[in-house]
Amino acid sequence: MNTLTSTRRPRLRRTGLDRARHDADLRLQTYVERIWLPQGRTDLVRVTFDRPPDGYELAEQYAVLAYAGRPLYLVPLDSRAASVAGFQAYKAARSTASRFARQAVAAGFASGVAPKLLRDRLVISVHRSVTRERWGEVLLIKHLSDVLDRPDLVAFVAVRRINPTAKPTLQLFDRAGAPVGYAKIGASAPTQDLVRTEAAALAALGGGPPGVLVPQMLATGEWGSTAFVVGSPVPSRIRRWTAGPEATVPALRRLNDLSAHRSRLRDSSYATRIGVELASAAASVDEARLLTTWLNELMVSDQEIEFGRMHGDWNPGNVGKLSGGLAAWDWEHSVDDAPVGLDLLHWPFHDALARHDLSTAVRAAERAAPGLQLLGVPASARRLVVSCYLLDMFVRWTKLVADRVSWNPKWHPDLIGVVQHRRKLS
């Protein structure tokens, strides 16, 4: 029987020539652990590549769609309509090449050919001692089904690269293929915090201000040691965002205005919160002390700045175009008391960091500073706002390192030089 064998770090095992590839596949392994085995228990739930073990009953099954040995999707086999819908969702928001590829795969599942060609099955089964009425106690997707009162719920899972803040995102459908929502799963301390932050933001935003569509929060809670939030699906008519960050200024203004207020940095709840986070990390991360010194120096300024709602990861991958405005998702870094302008700086910083290194990304943020005038940030405050943005980014990674995550080489040790340079400018 090809089954899970270790309770500490369970391994997916199968016979045949592909066993080494599957055993070594950290992505698939990690997704299995975070979605179906978050406590590492294999007594009541088993995940196998073929059939349920003796004494277990089939609960869920997925086709593992992979490319070059790398898993890309876990496609539900319990509903042909849902498997097709998972590939067809948000077609207008995707590139032409992606639309054609996904449409071809969707056609394969619609015809029933694709499941026959895909040899790998992920089979989730439950011990027969657990009655179906109690499956929500041991299966996360069944728990979500119970919470949402949708007994026909199935999940379509995109398997993405693993990083310290990566969370499984489950695209939820009913068995007729109608979208129900998106569930984010936090199974570690850092990702639990992010999921809870997103839940708080969605609850506060209530669908967003006029011209900015934000997912409605459908459910949030804890399932054992797992935090989850389910947001409503965004409209299928959404299109890719092809304009630059300046075109998002009206949306940013509306978001900022939800909690807009003016203050000196030292009198703000934002600075207080950043200080508490750095103090918590200082015992284990030396860089936290350097960042605390920088924060204290920035707080000497008598410059008043505007604070308001920040998305926290404002980039073209998290926004889409709708008639009359835009839609925005992934609110896991959102707060309602950040200096106005941080989102506008994040767009070029994020793009440059993905393509190059930290120094290039910092220069991109600095070059974007004049654009802060579009949000009403006066020239006298722009250097302070840029420093607040960089500090905010550095604190995020410092918190991760304090949670026993290794430094990303793109960030460290270069951030030390950046801080030292910015301190001289303050």
Taking 70 as the pLDDT cut, the residues of the chain under it are: 1-24, 39-41, 68, 90-100, 104, 106-117
Which residues lie below 8 Å from residue 133, measured CB to CB, with a gap of 6+? none
Task: Give the pairing of strands 217-223 and 169-173.
Answer: unpaired
Report the alpha-carbon distance of residue 342 to residue 314 in Å, rounded. 9
- Structure tokens given for 414: 């270069």
DSSP-based helix, strand, coil % in the chain, nearest 5? 45, 20, 35
pLDDT on residue 15: 37
pTM equals 0.89
Q: Rounded to the nearest 5°, which phi and psi values hold at 412?
A: -130, 135
pLDDT on residue 117: 66
For the chain, the structural domain boundaries read 19-176, 241-425
Q: Is the backbone peptide bond immediately before 115 cis, with ω within 30 degrees of 0? A: no
Distance of CA 270 to the CA centre of its chain: 23
Report the alpha-carbon distance of residue 86 to residue 74 in Å, rounded. 10
Task: Give the pairing of strands 45-48 and 121-127.
Answer: antiparallel
CATH 3.40.190.10 fits 241-425, yes or no: no
